[in-house]
Structure 1
Amino acid sequence: MADDLTERLDAVERALTDGETAVDDLSDAADVERRLTELETRAETVDERLTELEAAVQAVRGYVGGVRAVNRDVERRADAALATAEAVAEQVSDGPTVDDLDLPAAETRHADAGVDDDSTERTEDDDLASRLRRVL
C-alpha cells in the first residue's frame, strides 16, 4: 500500500509539474507569482497617483499663468498712471501761474505772497504733492 501511495504521489507531482519542475520549486513559483501580483497592483496605484499629480501640476500652471496675466495688466496700468503723473507734473511746472487760477481773494493773497494756507514759504525743494496741495 505504501508503494501504491508513492506511485500516486509521483503521478500527482508529474501532473502538476509536467515532469519538468520539482515540487519544491512550486512553492518558489507561487511566491514569485504573489510578488508579481503585488508589484502590478503597486504599479497601477503609482500610475493613478502620477495621473493625479500631472493634473494638479497643469492646474497650478494655469493658476500661475492667470497671476502673470494679472501682473502684466497691473504693470501696464501702473506704467500708464506713472506716465499720467509725469505729464501732470510737467504741466504743473510749465502750467498756469497763480494769476491764471480762479482762487478766492484770501487764497490769492497768500499765493501772491508765496505763502500757502499753512504759512510756510515755497521753496525749490517742494515736491509735486505739496505744490498741488497748496494750489488746491
Structure 2
Amino acid sequence: MLGNLKINKTIGIICALLIVLIFIAIFAYFYLNKHSEATPNPTEKSAAIQPSINDEELAKIAQETTADEQSSEPEGLIDDSILTQPIAKDPALVKDELKQLEDIQNQLKEQKDILEQQHHDADQLLQLKEQQLADLEKQFHSQ
C-alpha cells in the first residue's frame, strides 16, 4: 500500500511538471510569434512606396509574362549549359574542380550515412516503445 502511494505521488509530480513545461512552451511560442509580427517586413514597406499601376499597364505586363512563359521550355533539375561549358585547360584549375567535387561527394556520403543511422535509430526507438507499451498493458491488466 505504501509503495503504491509513493508511485502515485511521483507520477503526480511528473505530470504536474509536464503540464508546467507545456504551458511555458505555449507561452514562449506566442510571445516569440507576437514579437516577430511586430517587426516590420521590408517587403511591406516597398509595396507601400511603389506608385499605383493602372489596369492597362497590368494587362500589358500580364500579356508579356504569359508570352514569356509559353516561349520558355520547362526547366530541369540540372542546367544543361553545364554540359556544354568548356573544360578548363589549366591543370591546377582541373585539380581544384576535382577536389571540390570529391569534397562534395564525401559530404553527401556522410549525410547519407547519418540519415541512414538516424532512420535505423528511429526504427529501434519505435520497437522499444511498442515493447514498453506491451509491457505496460500487461502490467495494467495484471493489477
Higher relative contact order (CA 8 A, sep 6+): 1
TM-score range, shorter chain: 0.3 to 0.5
TM, length-normalised to structure 1 = 0.38
TM, length-normalised to structure 2 = 0.36
